[in-house]
Amino acid sequence: MPRYRITIEYDGTPFLGWQRQAQGPSVQGALEEALFRFSSEAAAVRGAGRTDSGVHALGQVAHFNLERAWEPFKIREAMNFHLRPAPVVVVDCENAADDFDARYSATARHYRYRILSRRAPPALERNRVWWLPITLDAAAMHEAAQALLGRHDFTTFRAAQCQANSPLRTLDRLDVSRYADEIVVEASARSFLHNQVRSMVGSLKLVGEGKWRPRDLKAALEARDRTACGPVAAACGLYLVRVDYGRAADTGTEVAPDDD
């Protein structure tokens, strides 16, 4: 049974998230419906990250099996045709090894969070940035963020409904930069806990507006207490940018994530 790997781009605004829902649209559901329409096969599409409602993707990865062998180019073109007008696009499709798993084979996930820090609201970027009509200190946010790097118990930044077996995660990158009125947070790890990125960004926002000092963020991490977390950042500013595959750095418990 041939297995295929696809890279997907989507605007998460109209969806209830990646995962198929009994009621309401999902990205997974849209992809499976497009597959069925051209192949007449009820294939299950498995994604690398289960993004929440309103979260976007530039490089989500998924895999599926089909009974019949197809040219990857034809799969991509047919899926994109049947996905219209939903804001989901299959950017690439390729043959995959039988043991490839979009979720469990991943060795790194890269997220980007966008904040528009200005008085005027967005006109063209509505639902694609977290608009904050205040001035944020990106340098202070970056300084504070470095305390979260490395392997820690991230209970403070974990959603209450997170189903991961362990709160331990290794955060490889958490950079904060300003580009004119936009503040961008780049986060990389092998895996993330449910709502981890948005929780970290929400706490960094408190540093940026001067309500917390960098040491307060470190204290929140060390508290290992969800109540120590700042307000969770809005879903609309979060993007799954890229998923890496290759030799894993370790074989810890992080291969089965509950993603943002």
Residues recognised as catalytic: 52
**Is residue 60 a contact partner of residue 9, using CB atoms and an 8 Å limit?**
yes
Can you say how many angstroms the Cα of residue 253 is from the centroid of all Cα atoms in its chain? 19
> Which DSSP symbol is given to 180?
T
Residue 247: is it exposed, middle or buried by C-beta count within 10 angstroms (0-12/13-18/19+)? exposed
What span, in angstroms and rounded, lies between the C-alpha atoms of 190 and 255?
Answer: 7
In DSSP terms, 161 is beta-bridged to none
Cα Rg, the chain, nearest whole Å: 19
Tokens of 245: 């595959």
Q: Which amino acid, residue 146?
A: Q
What span, in angstroms and rounded, lies between the C-alpha atoms of 69 and 86?
Answer: 26
What span, in angstroms and rounded, lies between the C-alpha atoms of 228 and 203?
Answer: 9
What span, in angstroms and rounded, lies between the C-alpha atoms of 58 and 229?
Answer: 28
Residue 170: is it exposed, middle or buried by C-beta count within 10 angstroms (0-12/13-18/19+)? middle
State the chain's maximal CA–CA distance in angstroms. 59
